[in-house]
Amino acid sequence: AGRTVRVSGLPADLPPDRVADKLTIHFLRSRNGGGEIAEVRVLPAGSGPCALVTFEALEVAQRVLRARSHVLSVEGKEYPLEVTAHAAELSPDEVAR
C-alpha cells in the first residue's frame, strides 16, 4: 500500500493505451521523481479520465507526490497533471462515478 498514485488531468481525446504509454514514459523519468513502475491503469472516464500508477517502491511514489508539477506533453500540447495519493480501497461512491 502507498505505492499507487492517482493521476488526473489526462487528455480525453487519446485512447487509454496511448495515455498509459505516455504516463509510463513520464513517470519512469527520474527528473519527474519517477522510477520503476509496476502497473499503469487508465480508468474509464467518469468525471474525466484518470489513471492509477503503481510504482515498484514506496519511495518513488512519495517522490512523485512531492514533485512540484507534472506536465504531460502529447503531440505538442501540454496537459498539467494532478497527482494525488490513492487510497488503497475505493469507496462505493467513488466506483460509481
Dump pLDDT digits (tens) for 38-59: 999 999 766 678 999 999 999 9
Contact 65, 81 (CB under 8 A): no
Q: Which domain holds residue 14?
A: 4-85
All three cell numbers of 13, joined, read 481525446
Instruction: Tell me whether residue 90 is in a domain.
Output: no
How many structural domains does the chain have? 1
d(CA 95, CA 77) in angstroms, rounded, equals 30
Residue 55 is classified by DSSP as E
Instruction: Tell me whether residue 91 is in a domain.
Output: no
pTM of the model: 0.85
Residue 75 pLDDT > 50, yes or no?
yes
Q: What is the CATH number of the domain that holds 65?
A: 3.30.70.330
d(CA 63, CA 13) in angstroms, rounded, equals 29
Instruction: Tell me whether residue 9 is in a domain.
Output: yes
What tens digit of pLDDT does each residue of 8-39 get?
A: 999 988 899 999 999 999 999 999 999 999 99
